[in-house]
């Protein structure tokens, strides 16, 4: 009798965003077939503009590349683990000061092309309405998970859906920016290639006060899902909300003028709006930190009060949308595996991480762990000292009574021992450098043993 070869189990992934795409790639790298489901274009969302996989919605920045910062560490670890999306980000980079910023269109196109050309990856353009009880699944449906799937997740997790409101910054046509007023510079001259990567729109005190008054009087767009009190994510507050916290709040937040000198006056502006390049053609810029939920005509009226944007044309206005995520610490293991259903994993913003790179990171981990389950191998958590390990620790071990989405920060990473903290207590940069050194040493040891 001839024995039939054992069929490789297929891993199914709900959601073609950053986490889902990275997960599919990692599954295929483990030698297993993956089916990636994406509901666009059959069903649109209130935030996406295209039907491309891995579309970046809110901005084109993957945060800091400055050495010994927490975002830099997370990206460095992902590169060590051969992340597809980090590779594509490096290949489609545009100037962005000390940040890793990408051409959104080229970034998404390169990822989609890589997945579509992989013989182990099947891309299906259809909506996942529920997660079947059989088979290995990764839920990476993102913050804009459709109603039917969100209801199904709430049903089998036994937890109510949590939410916060997130928003999108506007994009302006570069050709309509008055560069006799807006000047090129990075804060304190910080740029990876010594170029002046940002356009800066400078305010004097009178211009700032007039802009602030208009902002405080602006008419908001009603939320898509009405709530008595919208639950905003503190790290991504609409500028109107910031303005309501005090007349100088914006000047110490997204409009801070520190590290910039207006060449027309030779002095630091009273406030400034920074514009960041959107693509390689440099024909569009986004207003950094200017996510909002004002009506579109109000946005045009108010943003044309910004010096240098008086005659600007907007390619996209700011928006607000509701993000859905699960109460992960009550549900998930450090492997991003549902405790009550070991063949089911969660990745991306739906598990409560915030940020592009954090979503990529959880997609990579979920993909690798799902593949391990399929092969019958033991699951191995990444070291707690690493940014990846710390992110998974937060998702699985934070207080479930007050769980909030989180970006990677040094607060999430394991603290240094008491002797080292005492020795470096007066040198914050040295402490951060030591945390990063320790993380990479732990990653080296992990790879030596497990790869």
Tens-digit pLDDT profile for residues 2-16: 444 457 899 999 999
Lowest mean pLDDT: which of 88-92, 168-172, 327-331, 342-346? 168-172
* Of the residues 305, 322, 339, the one at which a domain ends: 322
Co-location of 215 and 334 in the same domain: no
The candidate with the shortest Cα–Cα distance to 137, out of 288, 435, 356, 350, is 350
- Measured over the CA atoms of residue 107, residue 51, residue 354 and residue 256, the dihedral's sign is positive
Residue-wise pLDDT for 27-61, tens only, equals: 999 999 999 999 988 887 777 778 899 999 878 99
Residue 254 pLDDT: 93
CATH of the domain at 149: 3.50.50.60
Q: Could you give the CA distance from residue 303 to residue 193 in angstroms, rounded to a whole number? A: 30
Co-location of 279 and 182 in the same domain: yes
- Tokens linked to 293: 């939920």
Residue-wise pLDDT for 184-198, tens only, equals: 998 887 654 445 789
* Of the residues 322, 346, 369, the one at which a domain ends: 322
Co-location of 138 and 194 in the same domain: no
Co-location of 340 and 419 in the same domain: yes
Alpha helices in 339-427 (DSSP H): 356-375, 387-397, 418-423
* Contact (Cβ atoms closer than 8 angstroms) between residue 275 and residue 200: yes
pLDDT bracket for residue 81 (50, 70, 90): very high
The angle, 0 to 180 degrees and rounded to 10, between the axes of the packed helices 296-303 and 205-216 is: 170
Residues 6 or more apart in contact with residue 436 via CB below 8 angstroms: 67, 68, 72, 73
Co-location of 252 and 388 in the same domain: no
Does residue 47 belong to any structural domain of this protein? Answer: yes
Residue 186 pLDDT: 87
Phi, psi of 123 (to 5 degrees): -105, 120
Lowest mean pLDDT: which of 57-66, 71-80, 122-131, 354-363? 57-66
Alpha helices in 33-124 (DSSP H): 70-80, 84-91, 104-116
Q: What is the mean pLDDT of the chain?
A: 90
pLDDT bracket for residue 144 (50, 70, 90): confident
Domain range enclosing 305: 168-322
Residues 6 or more apart in contact with residue 375 via CB below 8 angstroms: 30, 32
223 pLDDT above the threshold of 70: no
* Contact (Cβ atoms closer than 8 angstroms) between residue 342 and residue 60: no
Residue 426 pLDDT: 87
Residue 39 pLDDT: 92
299 pLDDT above the threshold of 60: yes
> Could you identify the residue written with the tokens 């006060």?
209
Does residue 6 belong to any structural domain of this protein? Answer: no
**Total tally of structural domains belonging to the chain:** 2
pLDDT bracket for residue 1 (50, 70, 90): very low
Residue 2 pLDDT: 45
Does residue 3 belong to any structural domain of this protein? Answer: no
The candidate with the shortest Cα–Cα distance to 21, out of 119, 92, 89, 123, is 123
* Of the residues 322, 346, 366, the one at which a domain ends: 322
pLDDT bracket for residue 233 (50, 70, 90): low
The candidate with the shortest Cα–Cα distance to 214, out of 300, 156, 141, 272, is 300
SS3 35: strand
Does residue 434 belong to any structural domain of this protein? Answer: yes
Residue-wise pLDDT for 381-439, tens only, equals: 999 999 999 999 999 999 887 787 888 999 899 989 989 988 998 898 999 999 999 99
Residue 401 pLDDT: 79
Does residue 239 belong to any structural domain of this protein? Answer: yes
> Could you identify the residue written with the tokens 């639950």?
231
Co-location of 74 and 145 in the same domain: yes
- Tokens linked to 412: 């999430």
Co-location of 154 and 175 in the same domain: no
Residue 5 pLDDT: 45
CA atoms within 13 A on the CB side of 446: 18
Q: Measure CA 199 to chain center.
A: 23
Does residue 204 belong to any structural domain of this protein? Answer: yes
Co-location of 136 and 173 in the same domain: no
Residue 3 pLDDT: 42
Q: Could you give the CA distance from residue 204 to residue 123 in angstroms, rounded to a whole number? A: 52
pLDDT bracket for residue 263 (50, 70, 90): very high
Residues 6 or more apart in contact with residue 109 via CB below 8 angstroms: 52
Does residue 181 belong to any structural domain of this protein? Answer: yes
Residue 4 pLDDT: 44
More confident position, 220 or 432: 432
CATH of the domain at 210: 2.40.30.260
Lowest mean pLDDT: which of 116-125, 225-234, 353-362? 225-234
pLDDT bracket for residue 222 (50, 70, 90): low
Co-location of 286 and 365 in the same domain: no
Burial 245-267 (b: 16+ CB within 10 A, else e): eeeebbbeebbbbeebbbeeeee
Q: Average pLDDT in the 82-102 region? A: 95
* Contact (Cβ atoms closer than 8 angstroms) between residue 364 and residue 78: yes
Q: What are the strands of the beta sheet with 171-173, ordered from one edge?
A: 183-184, 198-203, 271-277, 284-287, 171-173, 314-316
Q: Average pLDDT in the 96-118 region? A: 95
Does residue 4 belong to any structural domain of this protein? Answer: no
Co-location of 225 and 335 in the same domain: no
Distance of CA 356 to CAs 265, 322, 334, Å? 38, 17, 20
Co-location of 195 and 300 in the same domain: yes
Co-location of 305 and 345 in the same domain: no
Q: pTM of the full predicted structure?
A: 0.78
The candidate with the shortest Cα–Cα distance to 287, out of 410, 201, 377, is 201
Residue 147 pLDDT: 85
């Amino acid at each position: 009798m001839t024995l039939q070869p054992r069929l490789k189990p297929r891993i199914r992934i709900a959601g073609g965003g950053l986490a889902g795409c990275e997960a599919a790639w990692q599954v295929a790298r483990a030698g297993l077939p993956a089916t990636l489901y994406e509901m666009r274009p059959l069903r649109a969302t209130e935030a996406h503009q295209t039907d491309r996989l891995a579309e970046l919605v809110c901005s084109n920045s993957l945060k800091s590349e400055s050495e010994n910062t927490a975002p830099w560490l997370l990206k460095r670890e992902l590169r060590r683990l051969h992340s597809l999306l980090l590779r594509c980000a490096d290949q489609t980079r545009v100037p962005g000061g000390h940040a890793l910023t990408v051409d959104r269109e080229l970034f998404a196109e390169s990822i989609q092309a890589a997945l579509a050309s992989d013989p182990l990856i099947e891309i299906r353009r259809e909506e996942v309405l529920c997660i079947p009880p059989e088979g290995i699944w990764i839920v990476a449906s993102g913050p804009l998970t459709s109603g039917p799937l969100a209801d199904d997740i709430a049903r089998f997790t036994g937890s109510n859906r949590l939410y916060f409101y997130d928003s999108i910054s506007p994009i302006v046509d570069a050709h309509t920016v008055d560069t006799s007023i807006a000047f090129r510079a990075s804060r304190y001259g910080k740029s990876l290639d010594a170029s002046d990567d940002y356009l800066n729109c400078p305010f004097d005190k009178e211009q700032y006060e007039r802009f602030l008054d208009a902002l405080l009087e602006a008419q908001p767009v009603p939320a898509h899902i009405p709530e008595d009190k919208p639950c905003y994510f503190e790290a991504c507050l609409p500028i109107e909300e910031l303005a309501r916290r005090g007349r100088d709040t914006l000047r110490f937040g997204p409009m801070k003028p520190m590290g910039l000198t207006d060449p027309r006056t030779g002095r630091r502006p009273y406030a400034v709006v920074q514009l960041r390049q959107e693509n390689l053609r440099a024909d569009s810029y986004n207003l950094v930190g200017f996510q909002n939920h004002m009506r579109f005509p109000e946005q045009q009226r108010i943003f044309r009060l910004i010096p240098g944007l008086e005659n600007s044309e907007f390619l996209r206005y700011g928006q607000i949308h509701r993000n859905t995520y699960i109460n992960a610490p009550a549900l998930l293991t450090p492997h991003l595996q549902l405790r009550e259903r070991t063949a089911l994993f969660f990745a991306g913003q739906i598990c409560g991480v915030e940020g592009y790179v954090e979503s990529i990171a959880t997609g990579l981990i979920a993909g690798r762990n799902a593949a391990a389950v399929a092969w019958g191998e033991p699951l191995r958590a990444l070291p707690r000292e690493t940014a990846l390990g710390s992110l998974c620790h937060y998702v699985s071990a934070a207080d479930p009574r007050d769980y909030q989405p989180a970006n990677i920060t040094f607060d999430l990473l394991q603290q240094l021992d008491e002797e080292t903290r005492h020795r470096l207590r007066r040198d914050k940069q040295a402490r951060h450098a030591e945390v990063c050194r320790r993380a990479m040493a732990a990653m080296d040891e992990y790879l030596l043993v497990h790869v």
